[in-house]
Structure 1
Amino acid sequence: MDNLTIFLIVSIVVSVLAFAFAGWLYSWILRQPSDNKRVAEVGGYIKKGANTFLKKEYTVLIKFCGCAALLILIFLPSPIWSGGSILENLRMALAYIFGTVLSAIAGKIGIMVATIANVKTAEAAQKSGLKASFLAAFRGGSVMGMAVVGSSLLGVALVFWALNDATALLGFSFGASSLALFAKAGGGIFTKTADISADLVGKVELGIPEDDPRNPAVIADNVGDNVGDVAGMGADLFDSNVASMAAALVMAIALGAKTGVDYSAMVFCYAALGLLSSIIGVLSARMGKKGDPTMALNMSTYITTGIYAALTAIATAVFKFDWRIWGAAAVGLFVGVIIGITSDYFTNDNKKPVRYVAKASESGPAFTILSGISYGFLSVLPAMIGIAISALVAYNLCSSIVPGDPTAGMFGISMSAVGMLSIVGMIISNDAYGPIADNARGLVEMGDLGDEALEITDSLDSAGNTVKAVTKGFAISAAGLTIISLLGAFMSEVNEAAGKVVLTGFDIINPTVFFGMLIGAAVPAIFSAMLMLGVDRNAQRMVAEIHRQFREIVGLKEGKKGVIPEYDKCIDIATDGALKELVPAGLISIVVTLAVGFIGGVEAVGGFLAGNIVSGLLLALFMSNSGGLWDNAKKYIEAGGNGGKGSDAHKSAVVGDTVGDPFKDTAGPSINTQITVVSLVASLMASLFLSFSIF
């Protein structure tokens, strides 16, 4: 039995183990006590709202994905009338559908678990204290982490084993990416519509608490945490993990054709060991009765990183893999941790930037915005340097495998992306912990579970915000490396379609390449603007609805007993607006990619991808970090700093947070999915761009 077959089997076994572990975690969460009727009632509202939105969103996306699958069947990898085998087109379409289905399941699993774990976390805070409450939230997030990474590894292994076709793998990845793009964009518009509206009317205008049940938008806000930060982020990281493996396997096959060595086995070996390391890391996550939740989350990440580095080194020695490729993966892993640490510096309320912005808020909202934007731009440099160093070192480490051929170097970059995303199971667990803790805090307040429980969930929520900023930085940076390797996959697909070496790189002095680069650089800005304008329009409608309810429902503003807001109206506004706005924003990126390809050909597309990558990474990192900074500056003031709740500084910080909300939870994390989608479209359409273009 060869190494590839061994590690395909190992990948499937580890994936099944991850599902079994997720099932055990889920049953553990279900066994935790919860008997408060008010908490159960509010939790039911949140669960119903999240599932209603997801059902409507998936109904829209089924139509889009059905149309996309039909177009793939007709045109890819070559038009059915060109004389090629229709079986290849059918395999591509089926691989695409399989990718969308698994991505959708990842989001559904996240919603199912998070809307149970939030109730358990809230009641554990009242009955059992910080340690038990933390564990309920973390294990709830871990169910999603195990399920998402298990399904992504299983999906790639099955498609590769069944079809043994690199281009079909790109189709599978495109299915995951296209659904993730719309799920992240739609969920992001929903969650920030509700969050901004609830904050502006509740905190700024009326001075009532964040999760006051009188606020008509409060349930929609908690629903948004699930559909944006759980379902959306789950689909996003599912997509990133699949794309990194697909790019690495495409490059592995291309490199293997030149050297006679099968490098695909290394991809599956390292990916399977990454999931196994995450399982061990989740099991090791512990916190003392008076411990620090942020430290507990970070320590579990560091433990997972160390285990992965050791396991892959042992596997490299035992199976006589190339140490240069292990070095590329190790560099990606190490740089990912460093990027996480730098993101933490700019978003942690114990560090200078957040406290400076909190202090600046005493002088008014203009200074909140100005200082936050400045630190947001500063935060971009370490991550961009990290990605650049990782790509440079990985390329040079592996380029000597086939001297003078860029394929080996690009494979090194793709393995660096696999290394950075190797611990994605732990990253998703940490990320999904955040919205569960946030929901739990709201349930404690709305269920009136007491000040001690509120203090516990506040500390869990604060840790979630800090770690969420770190995981977003990690996800964006990993996507950056993945997309650079997808640029290599694009060149490989072009050369294979041409039957000779057409592309070895892209000369930016070439006007065709420069044409594509300028347009590619503009797309992330246009995409971000469309998403944030969607939030803006939707939030204005919701603010008007909140004002109407406070004006027309007698006794609501005063909190008269028995008077309940019309929560469903706000949920409907957020849902309808998100579904209306998500499709145009997602389509624009795909349409522009196709236009550039058919106008300028493969060289223009190469420039387009390069411009899209650089501009997209910069904007995504800036918006993610500045949004996290504003959020934690607000929370630092609410905890008693710089005047505390109700002060002028607090009102300024809330304004900053409302600007930062669509930055960090709508546009920022959606950009990396947008870049992945256009890169995959370019690779899949390579033969058509080569055959049909104006210039």
Structure 2
Amino acid sequence: MSWQLLAAEGGPTLTGGDRGIVVVVAVIALAALAVGYVLLKEVLAAGQGTDKMQDIAKAVQEGAGAYLKRQRNTLAIFGIIVFIVLFFLPADGVGERIGRSLFFVVGAVFSFGIGYLGMWLATQANLRVAAAAREEGGRETAMRVAFRTGGVVGMSTVGLGLFGAAIVVLVYAGDAPKVLEGFGFGAALIAMFMRVGGGIFTKAADVGADLVGKVEQGIPEDDPRNAATIADNVGDNVGDCAGMAADLFESYAVTLVAALILGSTAFGAQGLLFPLIVPALGAITAVAGVYLTRAKVGESGLTSINKAFYASALLSAVLCTAAAFIFLPSSFAELDGPAQSDIGGNPAVIATIAVIIGIVLAGVILWLTGYFTGTEYKPVKDVGSSSLTGAATVILSGISVGFESAVYTAVVIGAAVYGAFLLSGTLFVALFAVALAGTGLLTTVGVIVAMDTFGPVSDNAQGIAEMSGDVEGEGAAILTELDAVGNTTKAITKGIAIATAVLAATALFGSYISAIRDAFADAANASADQLSQLTNAILFANDDPDAQGFIALVFSPNVLVGIGLGAAVVFMFSGLAVNAVSRAAGAVVYEVRRQFHDNPGIMEGTVRPEYGRVVDMVTRDSLRELITPGLLAVLAPIAVGFGLGTGPLAGYLAGAIACGTLMAVFLANSGGAWDNAKKLVEDGNHGGKGSDAHAATVIGDTVGDPFKDTAGPAINPLIKVMNLVSLLIAPAIVTLSIGENENDAVRVVIAIVAVLIIVAAVVVSKRRGTAIAENPAEAVANGAV
């Protein structure tokens, strides 16, 4: 197959009719926000239970709010610095620079806002779900409240992401892709910080609470005598709700950004509009998915949720197919873009198949992740059975599940990417097809966010019920069932988030090539006819515009170095995240032990633990741990790009995407399998609660906590942040590499400074102690050990 680079001059222009379509998309986005508001009112109208339940919920609400307020202040510093840097990066005119910087702020504010909404509403809803379980017909009511809580966040994610992109296209038209880079980068950067910080918080509190409460003291998970219990419940909201909501919003935004950048190159004006139409239709089908989800007598809650998901996905496929054939022409010659009459294929057919590939991928990932993490399937049952021989075999079997599932998931995602890529023999059309597959997956995001939020809301509802002691019998059984369902839905959404990240990153990789091509043309004063050969000559070390140029990319030693560095950064990032949880959890263990030691009345139930001390401690530790992973994500591509060049940076991105996919799935599914194996034993299997098997699965779950809720999910925004940084700095790298502004000394200095900052941050992180005990001797002296 002969791959051609598509040459384009300038951005597409929009007609009055085109602008009308964008206005309709913006109206649909606002309608999605209105539906979210209706769902919000419904959730808040539900009963709030007893005074004791409300007091516990209030403590969780205050802790979560305090954490996000401090996180906001921390992130504002990063935001100001990036805003200034973005303004001075190369762009076509001051208008683009201003727009890119301003919409960086918009993307960041939207991302944080979605995360805050997810946290705030979850802390309101968990109380109402617990209260609903006590009522007659409680199962249906509790599930409806929990899922519609997620529906509010899902509709807000869809609405804000779509509205932001539509406004940029309306204002900037053909120049929108450059401005959208800022919008996507703002969303991705804030989401990564919220994912890492929230993940460290939630798992430090969870691990610390489990180690002292379950393992050492033999008390239940949400026993009010455990000083870390409130912090654990706060963590569910700032990690699983705020972090995941921001993560899925940035996936939505970044996928749209990549699709719009590539679409304007491949399809002209239609390519700038169709990626907006697809998720707009997804917003409509998301409403159907949320309202279709309801608990039925005799049917598993997970089955009900899955049915609604598949129904909405099928409706999306039908509507998007119709939209493709109505909006797109049957030949490339009829497109509004540059002269493309020599390109074969039917744009409508290519777009339809690409979108359907993305929708089908979401369904397959849902089934595949559910199989490897669900309590009713063999993998989790095997992990549960291994608990009979101790914690070591539990850990080994969980790692095995993670490794195996990563292979299958990577193959499925790879097949989707490659299938979309094969839809055209022209590089940018093929890459646009990959991006369209991502937008197809986006049509399910509204329901996916609802599924994800359902998990921590159900988990917290059970915690409130157990701490208050006011929900017993059938009500407690209902909450236990919903918690188990939520465990699986959280794992499923992590799998789909990973697939979205890979599709977005792959599309952004294509956008990176486009940015390099344009930068080369500007630096070398090349004509449109010279673009293909020039790109291959500099990026791929080969002047052959055919496939041989791309083969040279893989076999070039400097590019292989870049691939290795990209994979290494994923490992380093994961290690930093897990290590951060370990340090912060150690602080929690010391503090909870100290409180039990100093106040015997806590265990007797006559003295109230110091919940606030643990919340404050974990807040400080988790926010402090944000710095090193954040600097690594932003500065590593800068060091590689300016130090080694554009080709090695392309290899770096490829290595990060490939390794990140496998690592994220491995971490998420190992953790999910361990968690549900523990649930399996707690349901009475293999000796039930209090048995040696239970203790073994608790240890496995403790190991899996930072895997599935900190390091694994944080890889999703990581690979997109690195791709967006590369996309933004590409013109500057090229400018300093060739042409009249060539300056190798400046490039080397930039690379060295970036490396030195990374090294210093890692060294400081490794030497860092914890907020409660800088050394074990102090902890012993205080009675903590």
- Provide TM-score, normalisation by structure 2: 0.85
Residues 2/394 of structure 1: CA separation in 2 closer, same or farther (3 Å cut): farther
Which residue matches 2:567? Answer: 521
- Counterpart secondary structure, 2:625: helix
Which residue matches 1:255? Answer: 266
Amino acid at match of 1:670: A
Once the two structures are superposed, the pairs formed by residues 8-87 of structure 1 within 5 Å of their partners are 8-74=22-88, 76-78=89-91, 85-87=93-95
CA distance in 2, matches of 1:587, 1:126: 48
Residues 637/503 of structure 1: CA separation in 2 closer, same or farther (3 Å cut): farther
Tell whether the 8 Å contact from 1:3 to 1:265 is kept in structure 2 after alignment.
no
Which residue matches 1:266? Answer: 274
Aligned residue among 400, 410, 416 for 1:390: 416
Structure 1, unpaired ranges of 5+ = 79-83
Which residue matches 2:253? Answer: 242
- Counterpart secondary structure, 1:503: helix
Tell whether the 8 Å contact from 1:169 to 1:246 is kept in structure 2 after alignment.
yes
RMSD: 1.4
CA distance in 2, matches of 1:459, 1:186: 29
The offset of 1:46, in angstroms, is: 0.4
Residues 454/623 of structure 1: CA separation in 2 closer, same or farther (3 Å cut): same
Dislocated runs of 4+, deviation >3 Å: 1-4, 501-506
Tell whether the 8 Å contact from 2:225 to 2:609 is kept in structure 1 after alignment.
yes
Which residue matches 2:323? Answer: 315
Once the two structures are superposed, the pairs formed by residues 151-550 of structure 1 within 5 Å of their partners are 151-164=160-173, 165=175, 166-256=177-267, 262-321=270-329, 322-397=348-423, 399=424, 403=425, 405-448=426-469, 449-499=471-521, 500-501=531-532, 502-503=534-535, 505=550, 507-550=553-596
Which residue matches 1:596? Answer: 640
CA distance in 2, matches of 1:531, 1:254: 38
Amino acid at match of 2:248: L
- Counterpart secondary structure, 2:267: helix
Q: Does 1:127 align with 2:135?
A: yes
CA distance in 1, matches of 2:79, 2:320: 37
The offset of 1:3, in angstroms, is: 5.5
Q: Does 1:627 align with 2:671?
A: yes
Aligned residue among 95, 105, 116 for 1:97: 105
CA distance in 1, matches of 2:625, 2:661: 23
CA distance in 2, matches of 1:3, 1:350: 52
CA distance in 2, matches of 1:583, 1:324: 43
Once the two structures are superposed, the pairs formed by residues 660-675 of structure 1 within 5 Å of their partners are 660-675=704-719
CA distance in 1, matches of 2:103, 2:494: 28
Tell whether the 8 Å contact from 2:373 to 2:488 is kept in structure 1 after alignment.
yes
- Counterpart secondary structure, 1:645: coil
CA distance in 2, matches of 1:316, 1:252: 14
Tell whether the 8 Å contact from 2:324 to 2:351 is kept in structure 1 after alignment.
no
Residues 336/35 of structure 1: CA separation in 2 closer, same or farther (3 Å cut): closer
- Counterpart secondary structure, 1:685: helix
The offset of 1:484, in angstroms, is: 0.6
Which residue matches 1:614? Answer: 658
Amino acid at match of 2:439: V
Amino acid at match of 1:34: Q
The offset of 1:688, in angstroms, is: 0.9
Q: Give identity over the alignment, percent.
A: 39
The offset of 1:512, in angstroms, is: 1.9
- Listed one character per residue, the Cα deviations across residues 227-269 of structure 1 (whole Å, up to 9, x for unaligned) are 0000000110011011111001100111135xxx632221111
Tell whether the 8 Å contact from 2:561 to 2:648 is kept in structure 1 after alignment.
yes
Q: Which has more radius of gyration?
A: 2
CA distance in 2, matches of 1:451, 1:578: 37
- Counterpart secondary structure, 1:384: helix
Amino acid at match of 2:681: I
Tell whether the 8 Å contact from 1:182 to 1:586 is kept in structure 2 after alignment.
yes
Tell whether the 8 Å contact from 1:96 to 1:175 is kept in structure 2 after alignment.
yes
Amino acid at match of 1:632: N
- Counterpart secondary structure, 2:270: coil
Tell whether the 8 Å contact from 1:601 to 1:692 is kept in structure 2 after alignment.
no
Which residue matches 1:81? Answer: none
- Listed one character per residue, the Cα deviations across residues 168-226 of structure 1 (whole Å, up to 9, x for unaligned) are 10111000000001000000000000000111111111111110000000000000000
- Listed one character per residue, the Cα deviations across residues 136-159 of structure 1 (whole Å, up to 9, x for unaligned) are 111111111111111111111111
Tell whether the 8 Å contact from 2:520 to 2:535 is kept in structure 1 after alignment.
no
- Listed one character per residue, the Cα deviations across residues 56-111 of structure 1 (whole Å, up to 9, x for unaligned) are 0010000111111011112x235xxxxx6333322211111111011111111112
Structure 2, unpaired ranges of 5+ = 1-14, 330-347, 522-530, 537-549, 738-743, 749-785
- Counterpart secondary structure, 2:310: helix
CA distance in 2, matches of 1:112, 1:657: 27
Amino acid at match of 1:543: V
- Counterpart secondary structure, 1:555: helix
CA distance in 2, matches of 1:35, 1:289: 24
- Listed one character per residue, the Cα deviations across residues 557-588 of structure 1 (whole Å, up to 9, x for unaligned) are 1223xx21000011011100000101211111
- Listed one character per residue, the Cα deviations across residues 528-579 of structure 1 (whole Å, up to 9, x for unaligned) are 101111100000011000000001123111223xx21000011011100000
* Range moving further from structure 2, 248-257 or 501-510: 501-510
Q: Does 1:141 align with 2:167?
A: no
The offset of 1:30, in angstroms, is: 1.5
CA distance in 2, matches of 1:362, 1:370: 13
Once the two structures are superposed, the pairs formed by residues 627-646 of structure 1 within 5 Å of their partners are 627-646=671-690
The offset of 1:611, in angstroms, is: 0.3
- Listed one character per residue, the Cα deviations across residues 483-521 of structure 1 (whole Å, up to 9, x for unaligned) are 111100000011111223343546111122112111011
CA distance in 2, matches of 1:351, 1:639: 15
Amino acid at match of 2:535: L
- Counterpart secondary structure, 1:216: coil
Amino acid at match of 2:442: L
- Counterpart secondary structure, 1:556: helix
Tell whether the 8 Å contact from 1:4 to 1:264 is kept in structure 2 after alignment.
no
The offset of 1:393, in angstroms, is: 1.2
CA distance in 2, matches of 1:310, 1:5: 25
Tell whether the 8 Å contact from 1:527 to 1:586 is kept in structure 2 after alignment.
no
The offset of 1:35, in angstroms, is: 3.9
- Counterpart secondary structure, 1:34: coil
CA distance in 2, matches of 1:455, 1:7: 50
- Counterpart secondary structure, 2:461: helix
Tell whether the 8 Å contact from 2:362 to 2:444 is kept in structure 1 after alignment.
no
CA distance in 2, matches of 1:447, 1:291: 29
The offset of 1:290, in angstroms, is: 4.3
CA distance in 1, matches of 2:451, 2:128: 17
Tell whether the 8 Å contact from 1:339 to 1:382 is kept in structure 2 after alignment.
no
CA distance in 1, matches of 2:19, 2:289: 27
CA distance in 2, matches of 1:465, 1:616: 23
The offset of 1:320, in angstroms, is: 4.2
Amino acid at match of 2:502: G
Instruction: State the aligned residue count.
Output: 679
CA distance in 1, matches of 2:153, 2:118: 5
* Range moving further from structure 2, 466-475 or 310-319: 310-319
